[in-house]
């Protein structure tokens, strides 16, 4: 199970161990549902602990991002490891339209910047 923590208006889902496809599905429902419940403006999904991101996981991440977007929250995927990144690129599993960041802290900063630039404009 993946805990979804709330920091202000940001939700942080830290994946701590390899997930089965069912777990991923469950995570998607949970996150998308929580965005509405907590009126979140940002979602951070932390995959630091994962050694592998396969096509299903990539698709799920993309699904979360798009669905959260529709409910008014930006999604940032953080903590992709170097080896995982190389493997994903070689397998052609991109996250083209999804923002990534180095770790949770950076993800937070990025969300802050976005909010500020939106308010500024």
Partner 1 sequence: MEPARHATEQTLMRELGLDTQNIDRRKRHFTFGPDDVVKLVALRPIVAAHAAELVDVFFDQLVAIDEAKTLLSNHELTDRARTMKREHLLAMVGGTYDASYVEQRLRLGLLYARAGLDTRVFLGAFQALVRSVGVRVMREGGAEAFDRFTSFEKLAFFDVSIILDVLVYERERTIRQQQEAIRELSTPVLQLRNRLLLLPIIGVIDTHRAQLITDGLLRSIRANRARVAVMDVTGVATIDSKVAHHLLQTVSAARLMGAHVIVTGLSSDVAQSLVAIGLDVGRFNTVGDLQGGLEEAERILGFEIVQRQGDHGVRVG
Interface with partner 1 (CB under 8 A), residue from 19, 35, 101, 108: 101
CA distances from 82 to 56, 87, 97, 102 (A): 19, 9, 19, 10
Residue 79: strand, helix, or coil:
coil
Per CB under 8 A, 91 contacts partner 1: no
Per CB under 8 A, 88 contacts partner 1: yes
Kindly tell me which of 29 and 109 has the beta carbon lying closer to partner 1: 109
How far is Cα 41 from Cα 69, in angstroms, rounded to an integer?
9
How, if at all, do strands 4-7 and 10-14 pair?
A: antiparallel
Kindly tell me which of 30 and 48 has the beta carbon lying closer to partner 1: 48
Interface with partner 1 (CB under 8 A), residue from 102, 112, 116, 118: 102
Q: Nearest approach, Cβ of 60 to partner 1 (angstroms)?
A: 15
């Amino acid at each position: 199970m993946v805990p979804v923590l709330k920091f202000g208006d940001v939700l942080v889902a830290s994946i701590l161990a390899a997930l089965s496809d069912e777990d991923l599905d469950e995570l998607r429902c949970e996150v998308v549902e929580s965005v509405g419940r907590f009126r979140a403006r940002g979602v951070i999904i932390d995959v630091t602990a994962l050694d592998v991101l396969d096509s299903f996981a990539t698709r799920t991440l993309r699904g979360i991002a798009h669905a959260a977007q529709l409910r008014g929250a930006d999604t940032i995927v953080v903590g992709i490891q170097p080896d995982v990144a190389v493997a994903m690129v070689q397998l052609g599993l991109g996250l083209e339209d999804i923002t990534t960041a180095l770790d949770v802290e950076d993800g937070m900063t990025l969300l802050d910047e976005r909010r500020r630039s939106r308010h500024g404009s």
